[in-house]
Amino acid sequence: MAKLVKTEEEVMLADMARGFLDGAAPVGKLRQMRDDEVTHDPALWREMADMGWAGVLVPEEAGGSDMGFAAANVIAEEMGKTLAVSPFISTAVIAATTLRQVSDARAKEALGRIASGEAIYALAVDEGIKFDPEATQMEAKAEGNGFRLNGSKQFVVDGALADRLLVLARTENGLTLFDIPADRDGISREKSNMIDARDSARIEFKDVEATGEDVVGSVDQAMTVLRPALEAGQAALAAELTGLAAGAFGMTVGYLKERKQFGVEIGRFQALQHRAAHLWCEAEVTASAILNAGRMLDEDPENASLAVSLAKARATATAKLAVIEGVQMHGGIGMTDAYDMGFYMKRARVGAEWLGDYSYHAEKIAAVRGF
């Protein structure tokens, strides 16, 4: 099969995103945010919303740009190259995809707030040490015309800064998804900065009241609306990891061309050339998998699971290879905090775990293929 390539429109979008992010969100900005213990830049998110990124998956009638999943992946990939910090995946991708599955006025209003940059969402799904939505144990007990939520969630990315939460809980006959304000009585959030200096939270729910209006979709049928959103988020995260690998690779190649040993640039050493060439090949194959996942989500979403899991698994492995090779080919300086390669390595590690690690997606691929 021929290598998938970006369309002319996607190339233009990538170039526009690259030009903006290089100036507004370089890697140095992440370093400054880390040093200042800041995990969110509201001004940057407003600029992204003004460019239509927050509404990339929001229908036009709700105020969005509705560019599609492939376009969202293009933006996420460019963000990965500079490790740009934003709630793009949690809000513009996962939350927007969830809410667009629902046709009521409340969902349309929420989508409009996402597109304008007013609302920031976080997905509260994880409870154990690994991603496993189907194993959710948090209880949503029916009470009168509503529910009472009790339990806890962890690894809630953007959970400390979000003003709304998508919460997965177990009801009498299945799983139900709730859209509730993050400051509702009974909710307590413990901020937990991740190793990549980004926002995450542990969230406790104690007798939290939820009404029927807070239910997204139908009671006991959460995965109907959540599964497409998870796959969209997984594809966008895979794209970000692919961009991360490209950013780390570019930094490494630049170093190989500059660093000299015995009066010769180390990039002339054949052993290092072979390792760089291998990494480039892996990145090219992964880039095709990312493009395919975006195409499938846009054109045949009911059958996109295999393409999405393949993209996430490959992106995880490629990002890991890129940062490991980057550190090794930089030598001792690659291990120091003064050099930016460490930021790429830390982000790659967090991205590997969020929304399902390599093993999770490899098992899904095996299951689809009948193994």
| pLDDT given for residue 45 in this prediction | 98
Structure-token pair, residue 198: 């980004």
pLDDT value of residue 18: 97
Q: What string of DSSP letters covers 176-214?
A: EEEEEETT-TTEEEEE---TTS--EEEEEEEEEEEEGGG
pLDDT of residue 38: 93
DSSP secondary structure of 22-71: HHHS-HHHHHHHHHTT----HHHHHHHHHTTSTTTTS-GGGT-----HHH
Q: Is 339 helix (H, G, I), strand (E, B) or coil?
A: coil
pLDDT at 193: 79
pLDDT at 207 over 90: yes
Where does the pLDDT of residue 333 fall: very low under 50, low under 70, confident under 90, or very high at 90 and above?
confident
Question: Looking up tokens 């999405």, which residue turns up?
Answer: 308
- Residue 171: phi and psi, rounded to 5, are -105, -175
- Exposure pattern of 92-107 as b/e (b: 16+ CB <10 Å)? bbbbbbbbbbbeeeeb
Nearest to 324 by CA among 349, 299, 302: 349
Q: Given a cut of 60, is residue 314 above it in pLDDT?
A: yes
Three-class HEC string of 167-183: EEEEECCEEEEEEEECC
The alpha helices in the chain, defined as continuous H runs, are: 8-24, 27-35, 42-50, 69-82, 96-99, 105-115, 222-258, 270-299, 305-330, 341-353, 358-368
- Angle, CA of 124, 311 and 78, to the nearest 5°: 80
Q: What is the pLDDT of residue 1?
A: 39
User: Please, which pLDDT band fits residue 183 given cuts at 50, 70 and 90?
Assistant: very high
Check whether 78 has a pLDDT greater than 70.
yes
Does domain 223-368 fall under CATH 1.20.140.10? My reply is: yes
Query: Of 216, 228, 221, which Cα lies nearest the Cα of 303?
Result: 228
C-alpha to C-alpha distance for 50 and 353, rounded to whole angstroms? 31
Pairwise CA distance, residues 45 & 35, whole Å: 20
Of 110-114, 139-143, 267-271, least confident by mean pLDDT is 267-271
Q: Does residue 2 register a pLDDT over 50?
A: no
The two structure tokens encoding residue 159: 């959970």
Work out the pLDDT band at 261, boundaries 50, 70, 90: confident
Rounded CA-CA distance 182/196 in Å is 23
**pLDDT value for 92:** 98
DSSP 85: -
Q: Shortest CA distance to 309 belongs to which of 370, 205, 206, 238?
A: 238
Task: Give residue 118's pLDDT.
Answer: 97
Can you give the pLDDT at residue 296?
97
| pLDDT for the residue 267 | 87
Helix (H) or strand (E) holding 165: strand 164-171
Q: What is the CATH number of domain 122-221?
A: 2.40.110.10
Boundaries of every domain in the chain: 8-119, 122-221, 223-368
370 — pLDDT class (breaks 50, 70, 90): confident
Looking at CATH, the fold of the domain delimited by 8-119 is given as Butyryl-Coa Dehydrogenase, subunit A; domain 1 (1.10.540)
Q: Are 52 and 67 in contact (CB under 8 A)?
A: yes
Give me the count of residues in the chain: 371
Per-residue pLDDT tens over the stretch 84-139? 999 999 999 999 999 999 988 999 999 999 999 999 999 999 999 999 999 999 99
Average pLDDT, the chain: 95
Mean pLDDT computed over 266-283: 93
pLDDT in tens, 31-62: 999 999 999 999 999 999 999 999 999 999 99
CA distance linking residue 224 with residue 186, whole number of Å: 27
Same fold, 8-119 and 122-221: no
- Record the tokens describing residue 140, joined without a space: 């949503």
